[in-house]
């Protein structure tokens, strides 16, 4: 080990640490606190955390020489236990960091305490919780102290060695909390044995169980002056242990999750056990046993004479030797012992007067090399600190695998190397030995380790891997002719792996280069697969069509990412390949425009088909028309043409009669071209369809004429369709009648009877005289006698009906005249207290109190007024003013103009007559009455409170639009408020 990079360093902490209290006999440390026991019975405490130090004399009251046998301190540095041995026997004391006086543990009087185990998981500054004490007579005791009680809570006997009574030299304890309670793990050592105890419950319960069962122990031969047991503590949990025994250092890991015993005698919380023999430490032939020991994470510190050997726990190699600067008188006696401060991560050594501090400087920095030399590669990687160290570990593994010709495993390790070997060097290794599979594996692993930003490298390596895959596939085909048929062969496995690689690398592979590679190796299926990954759907669909796999092609086209234009492009090929699947696919595809599929459907329809075959195009067009409600004329015309070519015209007639636009307010009821439909039906000789089209185009004469050639019954039905034009209807029936009469070939009397029966079917529209011209001139009148008489009787009945209607009209006119006369005599009763609906004054007010309305004749001295059937009454002047105010501007001007004319005429009549009523005056009043009647109609046609005028006023705004400007002029501007003066108003 390079001295410049030493792991452990030694510094003198204090030269005369005993302070004249005798020689240092023992030492303990915890949480930057050290306790020294001296040969004169003193405890010297140094607290480096707070910079405090004080001495405690435990020999007070004891005669003779007293010496501190052992001193113990908890990991927190608060609790201290010390044993004093002298001529008067042994006493054990407990003291707390806050106490000035120690407390004697009377129940332990006479017992020499050699070991103490602290409960690290539960101990606090105020309470020790459970503490186990080990004595030199092979007994274990439990103790607990609370600082506030100023004395021990209890001291209980736990266990005693009976088979081989030996002194307990060292103790360690660990606890774990489980569902059923607290589980204790206790390890204790004697000069020859390592005992293990475990159980659930209290310590008393745990050790009581060993009265009925065998105590588990490990016994090693040999003798040693001081048997020690150490736990390495990390984050308050013991990780591994070491026992300084006579045969060597017995050490191993600790797993406190185990609950059962192992067959070799140890509890199975001990694992990975090993024994470090002292012979590996000695340079001569005789092994030298250490006098003391300390344990770090990876090393043992072994005190041998005046030196401390640092031995790696994993490799069992001595890496350093520590020297101490001792005084001349202390050199001869050597270093007394070692102790550790697990909390602070420090180690201490002491002789009779001095204390030395041993510091650790990153002891795990070279552990990766240690593990690597031992070929423990996983542990080596776990201890690597930088990528270069990891590369060296990977390189060793790779070269070992390469040398063993395990090329696939070597490629995986080479792929993890990033710095110490170049990519080219590694690939050349595999090319040199012609290992294509290993090279491909290396490339794939290298791809996994590359960053996303290395786009160029990723693309190049992916392309190289693609070519290696293709080469492997071709070699497998050449080696085994049955590889294609055997589904479990390596060929199919590599195909599956290659497709997975293409899926993973589709975004980094160059599309054009990869397709050329696949094409050059003749891998059509993989080419199609890759094209599908790259969304080159046109290539995929074209391939499936060439293979005759219409269903697969349609599945590709139905993907949401496929452009809809490809549906139209491949529609002709697909419908010819498999019409059923193509149409089913079209019907399940959204946003498909049927018009763009018409070329494909026409191509399919032009091919000959079996008579009983379901016409797939008709099925699809019917779906578009009836389910999708398509209104495209091209779709309707195509469906019509296909119907017309069928032998059975029932479907054609249903289509023509179906009203596709029904339920719509505007728009046509059908969407096909009727002229095209007519030409097509005439060409295909679908006469019934032609009749329907003629009728639909209002060409009723042509419809009836054509229907007569097909079926007279059809002609009659067509003639009956005309209802709004009586003359045309009659003309059509005459055409039917003429055809019927001319077509009859029976005897004359039989023809006449049939003609008369036909007249009855017309419901009186045709008379016998209408059809007589259609009979031959030499027909006898006797054959029509009954029909003529029946017709004359009908005429006579019509005349009588007309006379009755004229009489009824005359009576009605008389009744109307009588009602008019009665209306002139109508009157209404007005109560004398009745008020005007507008001004609220009495209606019967005399003229002096109410100005007479101009243009009206006064009734006595009362003002003119209006009374409505609803009971409301108004003065004439009030009613005119109210209506004028409430109606629109044009109506108001009309009313005011009538009132003005009426006033002028009334004034002239009064002036001319000078108060006398002459014949000329009466004659001149006729215009006045006319104007007054017009004024009455304008203002009194309905009650203003009960009629439409009141209803319309509800929706009118308070301020009309034409009044908005005037309303705005009344607004008070905010900026003028400051200049206004307030006027006081006196009430």
Give the dihedral sign, CA 483/488/494/495. Answer: positive
Work out the average pLDDT over 314-334. 85
pLDDT value of residue 977:
44
Tokens of 343: 């909390």
**Which backbone phi and psi does 333 adopt, to 5 degrees?**
-90, -20
Q: CB atoms < 10 A from the CB of 933, how many?
A: 11
pLDDT tens for 349-398 read 999 889 999 999 988 889 999 999 999 999 999 999 999 999 999 999 99
Residue 979's pLDDT band (cuts 50, 70, 90): very low
Work out the average pLDDT over 114-140. 93
Residue 297's pLDDT band (cuts 50, 70, 90): very high
HSE (side-chain half, CA atoms, 13 Å) at 413: 21
Higher pLDDT, 491 or 117: 117
pLDDT value of residue 848:
46
pTM flag (> 0.75): no
Q: Is residue 920 scored above 60 in pLDDT?
A: no
**Which backbone phi and psi does 199 adopt, to 5 degrees?**
175, 170
Residues 229 and 241: beta-carbon distance below 8 Å: yes
**DSSP string for 595-625:** GGGHHHHHHHHHS---TTS--HHHHHHHIII
Work out the average pLDDT over 750-772. 54
pLDDT tens for 197-248 read 999 989 999 999 998 888 899 999 888 888 999 999 988 889 999 999 999 9
**279: which DSSP letter?**
G
Work out the average pLDDT over 609-636. 81
pLDDT tens for 786-821 read 556 666 667 677 788 888 888 888 888 888 888 877
Least confident of 3-12, 710-719, 871-880: 710-719
Token pair 């045969």: residue: 247
**DSSP string for 123-147:** --SSB--SEEEEETTSEEEEEEEEG
pLDDT tens for 54-67 read 899 888 877 778 89
Q: Is residue 758 scored above 60 in pLDDT?
A: no
pLDDT value of residue 274:
92
Mean pLDDT score of the chain: 82
pLDDT tens for 741-754 read 666 544 444 555 55
Tokens of 832: 């004398």
Work out the average pLDDT over 724-743. 64
Q: Is residue 266 scored above 50 in pLDDT?
A: no
Hey, what's the torsion of the CAs at 687, 692, 698, 700, to 10 degrees? 50
Tokens of 9: 């360093």
Higher pLDDT, 714 or 432: 432
pLDDT tens for 702-729 read 777 777 777 777 766 666 666 666 666 6
Tokens of 442: 């290396």
pLDDT tens for 497-528 read 999 999 998 889 998 999 899 889 888 888 88
Higher pLDDT, 25 or 858: 25
Write the CB contacts of 553 (distance below 8 Å, at least 6 apart in sequence): 540, 541, 544, 545, 570, 574
Q: Strand, helix or coil at 154?
A: strand
pLDDT tens for 534-577 read 888 888 888 888 888 888 888 888 888 888 998 889 889 988 98
Residue 976's pLDDT band (cuts 50, 70, 90): very low
Q: Is residue 912 scored above 70 in pLDDT?
A: no
Residues 86 and 65: beta-carbon distance below 8 Å: yes
Work out the average pLDDT over 122-147. 93
**Which backbone phi and psi does 542 adopt, to 5 degrees?**
-60, -40
pLDDT value of residue 657:
81
Residue 118's pLDDT band (cuts 50, 70, 90): very high
Q: Is residue 24 scored above 90 in pLDDT?
A: yes
Work out the average pLDDT over 958-969. 77
Residues forming a β-bridge with 118: 131
pLDDT value of residue 737:
65
pLDDT value of residue 460:
94
Least confident of 122-126, 198-202, 467-471, 884-888: 884-888
pLDDT value of residue 338:
94
pLDDT tens for 647-695 read 888 888 888 888 776 555 555 777 888 888 888 888 888 888 888 877 7
Identify the CA nearest to 68 among candidates 78, 77, 79, 55: 55
pLDDT value of residue 337:
93
pLDDT value of residue 852:
43
Q: Is residue 879 scored above 50 in pLDDT?
A: yes
Q: Strand, helix or coil at 866?
A: strand
Query: What is the distance between the alpha carbons of residues 416 and 435, in angstroms, rounded to a whole number?
Result: 19
Long-range contacts formed by 902-906: CB under 8 A, 24+ apart:
902/854, 902/855, 902/928, 902/931, 902/932, 902/935, 903/854, 903/855, 905/855, 905/931, 906/854, 906/855
pLDDT value of residue 925:
53
pLDDT value of residue 261:
42
Residue 738's pLDDT band (cuts 50, 70, 90): low
Write the CB contacts of 899 (distance below 8 Å, at least 6 apart in sequence): 854, 855, 880, 935
Work out the average pLDDT over 878-886. 87
Highest-confidence segment of 250-259, 281-290, 460-469, 952-961: 460-469
């Amino acid at each position: 080990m390079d001295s410049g990079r030493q792991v452990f360093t030694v510094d003198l902490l204090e030269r005369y640490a005993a302070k004249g209290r005798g020689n240092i006999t023992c030492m303990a440390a915890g949480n930057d606190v050290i306790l020294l026991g001296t040969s004169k019975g003193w405890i010297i405490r140094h607290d480096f955390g707070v910079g405090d130090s004080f001495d405690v004399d435990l020999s007070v009251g004891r005669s003779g020489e007293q010496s501190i046998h052992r001193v113990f301190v908890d990991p927190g540095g608060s609790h201290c236990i010390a044993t004093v041995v002298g001529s008067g026997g042994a006493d054990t004391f407990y003291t707390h960091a806050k106490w000035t006086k120690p407390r004697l543990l009377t129940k332990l009087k006479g017992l020499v305490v050699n070991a103490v185990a602290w409960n690290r998981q539960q101990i606090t500054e105020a309470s020790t919780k459970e503490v186990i004490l080990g004595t030199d007579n092979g007994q274990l005791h439990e103790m607990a102290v609370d600082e506030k009680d100023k004395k021990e809570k209890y001291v209980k006997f736990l266990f005693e060695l009976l088979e081989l009574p030996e002194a307990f030299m060292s103790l360690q304890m660990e606890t774990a909390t489980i569902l059923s309670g607290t589980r204790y793990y206790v390890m204790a050592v004697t000069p020859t044995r390592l005992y293990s105890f475990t159980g659930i419950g209290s310590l008393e319960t745990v050790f009581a169980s060993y009265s009925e069962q065998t105590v588990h122990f490990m016994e090693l031969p040999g003798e040693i002056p001081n048997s020690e047991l150490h736990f390495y503590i990390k984050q308050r949990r013991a990780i591994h242990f070491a026992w300084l025994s006579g045969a060597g250092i017995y050490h191993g890991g600790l797993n406190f999750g185990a609950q059962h015993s192992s067959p070799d005698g140890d509890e199975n919380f001990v694992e990975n056990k090993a024994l470090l023999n002292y012979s590996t430490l000695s340079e001569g032939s005789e092994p030298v046993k250490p006098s003391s020991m300390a344990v770090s994470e990876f090393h043992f510190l072994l005190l041998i004479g005046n030196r401390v050997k640092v031995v790696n726990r994993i490799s069992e190699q001595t890496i350093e030797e520590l020297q101490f600067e001792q005084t001349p008188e202390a050199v001869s006696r050597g270093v007394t012992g070692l102790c550790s401060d697990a909390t602070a991560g420090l180690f201490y050594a002491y002789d009779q007067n001095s204390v030395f501090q041993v510091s650790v400087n990153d002891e795990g920095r070279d552990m990766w090399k240690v593990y690597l030399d031992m070929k423990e590669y996983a542990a080596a990687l776990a201890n690597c600190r930088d990528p270069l160290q990891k590369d060296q570990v990977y390189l060793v593994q790779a070269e070992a695998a390469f040398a063993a010709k395990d090329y696939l495993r070597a490629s995986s390790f080479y792929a993890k190397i990033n710095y110490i070997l170049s990519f080219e060097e590694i690939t050349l290794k595999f090319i040199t030995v012609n290992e294509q599979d290993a090279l491909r594996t290396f490339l794939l692993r290298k791809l996994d380790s590359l960053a996303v930003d290395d786009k160029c490298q990723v693309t190049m390596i992916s392309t190289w891997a693609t070519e290696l895959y293709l080469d492997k596939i071709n070699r497998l085909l050449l080696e085994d002719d049955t590889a294609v048929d055997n589904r479990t062969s390596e060929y199919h496995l590599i195909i599956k792996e290659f497709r997975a690689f293409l899926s993973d690398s589709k975004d980094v592979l160059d599309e054009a280069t990869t397709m050329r590679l696949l094409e050059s190796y003749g891998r059509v299926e993989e080419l199609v697969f890759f094209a599908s990954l790259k969304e080159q759907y046109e290539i995929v669909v074209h391939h499936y069509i060439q293979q005759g796999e219409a269903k697969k092609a349609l599945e590709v086209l139905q993907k949401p990412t496929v452009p809809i234009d490809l549906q139209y492009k491949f529609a002709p090929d697909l419908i010819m390949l498999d019409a059923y699947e193509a149409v089913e696919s079209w019907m399940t595809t959204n946003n498909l425009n049927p018009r763009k599929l018409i070329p494909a459907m026409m191509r399919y329809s032009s091919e000959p088909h079996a008579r009983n075959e379901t016409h797939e195009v008709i099925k699809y067009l019917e779906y578009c028309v009836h389910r999708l409600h398509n209104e495209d004329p091209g779709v309707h015309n195509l469906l019509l043409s296909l119907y017309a070519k069928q032998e059975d015209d029932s479907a054609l007639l249903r289509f023509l009669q179906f009203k596709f636009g029904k339920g719509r307010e505007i728009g046509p009821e059908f969407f096909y071209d009727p002229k095209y439909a007519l030409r097509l039906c005439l060409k295909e000789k679908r006469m019934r369809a032609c009749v329907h089209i003629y009728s639909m185009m209002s060409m009723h004469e042509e419809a009836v004429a054509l229907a007569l050639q097909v079926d007279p019954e059809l002609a009659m039905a067509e003639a009956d369709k005309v209802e709004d034009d009586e003359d045309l209807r009659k003309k059509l029936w005459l055409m039917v009648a003429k055809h019927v009469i001319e077509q009859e070939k029976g005897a004359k009397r039989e023809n006449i009877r049939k003609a008369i029966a036909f007249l009855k079917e017309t419901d009186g529209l045709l008379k016998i005289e209408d059809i007589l011209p259609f009979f031959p001139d030499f027909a006898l009148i006797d054959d029509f006698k009954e029909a003529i008489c029946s017709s004359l009787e009908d005429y006579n009945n019509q005349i009588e009906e007309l006379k009755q209607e004229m009489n009824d009209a005359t009576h009605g006119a008389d009744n109307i005249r009588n009602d008019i006369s009665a209306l002139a005599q109508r009157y209404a009763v007005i109560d004398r207290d009745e008020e005007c609906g507008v001004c609220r004054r009495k209606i019967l007010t005399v003229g002096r109190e109410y100005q007479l309305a101009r243009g009206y004749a006064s009734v006595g001295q009362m003002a003119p007024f209006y009374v409505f059937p609803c009971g409301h009454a108004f003065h004439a002047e009030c009613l005119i003013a109210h209506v004028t105010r409430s109606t629109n501007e044009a109506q108001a001007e009309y009313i005011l103009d009538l009132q003005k004319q009426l006033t002028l005429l009334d004034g002239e009549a009064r002036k001319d007559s000078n108060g006398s009523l002459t014949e000329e005056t009466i004659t001149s009043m006729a215009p006045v009455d006319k104007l007054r009647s017009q004024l009455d109609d304008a203002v009194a046609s309905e009650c203003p409170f009960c009629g439409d005028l009141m209803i319309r006023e509800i929706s009118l705004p308070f301020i009309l639009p034409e009044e908005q400007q005037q309303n705005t002029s009344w607004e008070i501007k905010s900026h003028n408020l400051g200049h206004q003066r307030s006027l006081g108003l006196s009430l």
